[in-house]
A and B are shown apart, each in its own frame.
Chain A
Amino acid sequence: MEDAHRFREEDMPRLLTVQDLVVEMPGRNIKILNGVSFSLDTGQTLGLVGESGCGKSMTCYAIGNMLPHGLAQTGGSVDLSSNATPSKAGKPKISMIFQDPTSSLNPVHTIGYYLESALHRHQGLKGSDARMEAMRLLERVGIDRVKSRLRSYPHQFSGGMNQRVMIAHALAAKPELLIADEPTTALDVTMQAQILHLLEELKAETGMALIIVSHDLGVIARLADEAAVMYCGKIVETAPVEDLLARPAHPYARALIDCMPSIDASDLEPPVPIPGSVPLLDCLPHGCYFHPRCSRASSQCTAQFPSSAIVGPAHQAACYHPVAA
């Protein structure tokens, strides 16, 4: 087991390696992503967490090669290599699901068209084969009366059902990596739980890797093996998810955990908000980007951005004054 593990570490390329990724607005000196690095193996789940505007979604778009108009990758690399099918040529497939499922579905096309055209594109299925497979996928993601649903339009479905449709669509590509960008943010709480449960099941079933983006640490804790905390276009801490929740090293990670409300009766402490707000990307503070909001900041923090340091097993943080375990 140990040997197998070592073999993989040393000889097999990882499914996804992101190295020093930089995304900028060309012409303006604004770095949306500023040196993001991480990697992911088949079957692993990475959670990206952070406040709005920290670059979580942009990281996903860069990996999926779908940066919005006006943004460009100006540095670093995104490497995908397939372990599961080494003989098969081509890159492993990535599928994405998005925050607002209803507006991510084309309003003029039926669910059937949407799924069948994806099945044709990714698996070469046509006609009744595609229709059968589309119905199977819809059933798999928990939609009933699938035959009539194929003729429905997205506006006839609830947000939760549309997210299921998006997941079914993502599965049509038989992805080795599924990127879920805030998949439950626009849904109500019961629907959130169902969608998370579905993602868990599908992950176990297909063995695909998953990147889940959320500002909700609860979602990350439930699904992810590893978590990466982002702030202003940089990853400031990475750790196995239990480790991060139990022993956050970066004051920002600590603060994110402290501002989570708890329904535990023994924990009567009110959530602590993080003072201040995320700085604008065109006027980032000198040194560590978090220091103006950080209680532990020293003169060192204002001088230079701290490099990532090992603070525990598989646990790294970019901080001069990490919170003691």
Chain B
Amino acid sequence: MKISVQINPPSILCSSIMFAARKTNLAAVARTFARGKKIQNKKQGVNNASTQKVVNQLSALSATKKQPKLLKLCPEDLIKHKTITNAWNVFQRKQRTKEAEILAKQYESIKDAMTELKELSPELFEAALKKERKFFPLEYRVPVDYPPRNPWNYQVKKL
């Protein structure tokens, strides 16, 4: 007589089923007793393809055995790292202040221009403030790392 206690759910794709099964310790040791002989897969009791798939999926997400060793720096290297970070902060601060200065100057420029235009010719001033309905041109490209084969498009056909 063959006693079979194999648990073979049709397709275990949902991880919650997996966990529930693990709790009861049934799927984890899904064993087949055939004539009193214990057959067990090399990988801890997973002997069917769909369960193996879920195990693979879960292990891809889990950190087990995949985390590298902690980065332990000696004092000299730690100081070097801090110096690099400090230099980066100084560098960025300098860039930001420069940008802010230029923006402020550009704003002043626009303001001056408009004030003068108002004095010189109110009509042109009105025209310069008129809101036009226009679309962002499709030909305008975002800069990329490497240029296309023809860097510049000499055709004027509007899209």
Q: Do A and B come from one complex?
A: no
